[in-house]
Amino acid sequence: MIELVNITKKYAGQEEPAVKGLNLLVRDGESCVLVGPSGCGKSTTLRMINRLIEPTAGTVLIDGKDIRETDPDRLRMGIGYVIQQIGLLPHRTVAENIAIVPRLYGWPKDKIRERTDELLELIGLDPETTRHKYPAQLSGGQMQRVGVARAMAVDPPIMLMDEPFGAVDPIARNHLQDEFLRLQSVMRKTICFVTHDINEAIKMGDQIAILDRGELVQHGSPLEILSNPANDFVCDFIGYDRVVKKLSLCRAGSISRKDFCLIRESELPAAAKKMEEQRAEVSFLVDGKGVPRGMLTAKWLKDNGSAFTPKELKALASQGHKGFIQEDTLLRDALSLLLELDLDYLGVLKGETLCGAVSMADIRQYASGKEGD
């Protein structure tokens, strides 16, 4: 647990402090993203947690203990630190770079070697071919990975990451973020993560702390912040697509409804009746193996249904044959598909089987709801 209590930092010669009276709590196993425009004091805040900078006033506590009670080098050895520029030692191999902190702890050689290989595997680099390379022989993305691996070498419970994926192209960044989230879901480290990219904050943070000119303007979960921005600054910082961003926090499975019914091709003429009986708003056409082939909505049938022959009904139902998503699809992507296919409903699949339906109205309701009810 990291606690910042009333932290202020004023650099020599500065009129306005870089960080003003900041209070922040990061719970164990939680990742807190510090986000804000350039110069708002994110890096300063982060570097006060491992004493690379001493605050002008205030206290930083780790697990309830004032960090000033620990020798700075000792303190830092126990906290993973990743920076945007990575800072790999250019004259040391990948393995030697990863071994830095284990060596400070005096681990035996074979233990270090084992751990190095384990970490290289973990971050998706082949130990055989990468171990003896020098940083100059790596791509930007590979260097970032090595930087992260190096910070995790002794498995520290706390990681401080200052724009760790800032130096790579967007595609590589996305990939690194996904991989890191996958690791974090297992490791459950306490993480302080700095970025100036709100999308990265939303993606990476359990909690987001928005800073503006050295002050904390809002602290909360991504959903809280996107649902209730504290002020105009936060609104502007999030951008006009605030609601669409919110849709990327929720997966289709969690808002899908169960009031749908399944119909076979032979049942098409009786679809309206079946749906009425089952009080379903939508029915999905499935083939003999249960594979979805299309859909019909109650509203649509009510308006036009009786006028069509079974063959025409099948053709119409088939128009929705692409309208199926997996339950872990983000609502943002679901919305995009609804718009693209011009449908009112999407079928939600769990693997091969239909498990629910999501409507345009459901998404609208989620988007406008406060606090994600």
Residues within the interface to another protein (CB under 8 A) = 50, 52, 73-78, 81, 83, 85-93, 100-101, 104, 134-137, 147, 150-151, 160
Task: Return d(Cα 203, Cα 201) in angstroms, integer.
Answer: 5
Q: Of another protein, Mg ion, ligand ATP, none, which one does residue 14 interact with (CB within 5 to 8 Å by kind)?
A: ligand ATP
Stretch of residues binding ligand ATP (CB under 6 A), selected from 36-44, 152-160, 220-228, 256-264: 36-44
DSSP string covering 315-353:
HHHHTTTT-EEETTSBHHHHHHHHHHHT-SEEEEEETTE
Among 78, 8, 14, residue whose Cα is nearest residue 44: 8
Angle (CA) 208 209 212, round 5°? 140
Smallest separation (angstroms) from another protein to the CB of 147: 8
DSSP string covering 279-318:
T-SEEEEE-TTS-EEEEEEHHHHHHHGGGS-HHHHHHHHH
Dihedral sign from CA coordinates of 20, 25, 26, 28 = positive
Residue 86 tokens read as: 């990575």
Q: Of another protein, Mg ion, ligand ATP, none, which one does residue 81 interact with (CB within 5 to 8 Å by kind)?
A: another protein
Complex with Mg ion: residue 192 or 346, whichever CB lies closer: 192
Q: Name residues contacting ligand ATP, limited to 16-35 (CB under 6 A).
A: 18
Residue type present at position 134: Y
Smallest separation (angstroms) from Mg ion to the CB of 53: 12
Q: Of ligand ATP, Mg ion, another protein, none, which one does residue 85 interact with (CB within 5 to 8 Å by kind)?
A: another protein
Smallest separation (angstroms) from ligand ATP to the CB of 237: 13
Stretch of residues binding Mg ion (CB under 5 A), selected from 39-47, 183-191, 232-240, 338-346: 39-47
Q: Of another protein, ligand ATP, Mg ion, none, which one does residue 73 interact with (CB within 5 to 8 Å by kind)?
A: another protein
Characterize the bridge pairing of strands 158-162 and 324-326: unpaired
CA distances from 263 to 3, 42, 274, 292 (A): 57, 56, 8, 10
Q: Of another protein, ligand ATP, Mg ion, none, which one does residue 11 interact with (CB within 5 to 8 Å by kind)?
A: ligand ATP
State yes or no: residue 50 binds ligand ATP (CB under 6 A).
no
User: Could you count the other beta carbons within 10 Å of the beta carbon of residue 253?
Assistant: 17
**By rule CB under 6 A, what string of x and - marks binding of each residue 157-196 to ligand ATP?**
---------------------------------------x
Per DSSP, what are the bridge partners of residue 190? Answer: 158
State yes or no: residue 54 binds ligand ATP (CB under 6 A).
no
69-73 long-range Cβ contacts below 8 angstroms, 24+ apart: none
Dihedral sign from CA coordinates of 233, 234, 235, 237 = positive
Q: Of ligand ATP, another protein, Mg ion, none, which one does residue 299 interact with (CB within 5 to 8 Å by kind)?
A: none
Complex with Mg ion: residue 19 or 99, whichever CB lies closer: 19
State yes or no: residue 41 binds ligand ATP (CB under 6 A).
yes
SS3 276: helix
Task: Return d(Cα 255, Cα 270) in angstroms, integer.
Answer: 28
Given 31, 44, 190, 218, the residue binding ligand ATP (CB under 6 A) = 44
State yes or no: residue 85 binds ligand ATP (CB under 6 A).
no
Task: Return d(Cα 256, Cα 281) in angstroms, integer.
Answer: 13
Stretch of residues binding Mg ion (CB under 5 A), selected from 36-44, 52-60, 64-72, 282-290: 36-44
Smallest separation (angstroms) from Mg ion to the CB of 314: 60
Place of tokens 């025409």: 312
State yes or no: residue 43 binds Mg ion (CB under 5 A).
yes
Complex with Mg ion: residue 43 or 190, whichever CB lies closer: 43
Residues making contact with ligand ATP (CB under 6 A): 11, 14, 18, 38-44, 196
